[in-house]
Amino acid sequence: MQTIMIDGSRYATPEELHRALQRMLRLPDYYGCNADALHDCLSERSEPVHLWIASRGEGPVEDTVSLVSSVIADLGGRVKEMNA
């Protein structure tokens, strides 16, 4: 299981967050930077992702963190809030 940590407060836009996910998860160059593309890319893997959330951020970034969390959970990964 790959483990990543997201601190939504570090990103100004959802695209910045998706680009960070692309690097952290070593997603392909054709990654579409949205929840559907994330689902497609992660569903091709044999092991789920474990996501730690330090902060969800605000506004559209917070919404994106929620979508990313849902995708990871839907694919059998674990999602934990660090301050929960």
Domains belonging to the chain, first-starting first, are: 2-81 (3.30.370.10)
Contacts of 59 (CB under 8 A, 6+ apart): none
pLDDT in tens, 11-49: 999 999 999 999 999 999 999 999 999 999 999 999 999
C-beta pairs of 12-15 under 8 Å, 24+ apart in sequence: 12/61, 13/60, 13/61, 14/60, 14/61, 14/63, 14/64
User: In angstroms, rounded to a whole number, what is the distance separating the alpha carbons of residues 47 and 50?
Assistant: 10
pLDDT confidence bin for 8, thresholds 50/70/90 = very high
Is the pLDDT higher at 84 or at 2?
Answer: 2
The two structure tokens encoding residue 54: 């330090």
- Look up residue 11 and give its DSSP letter: -
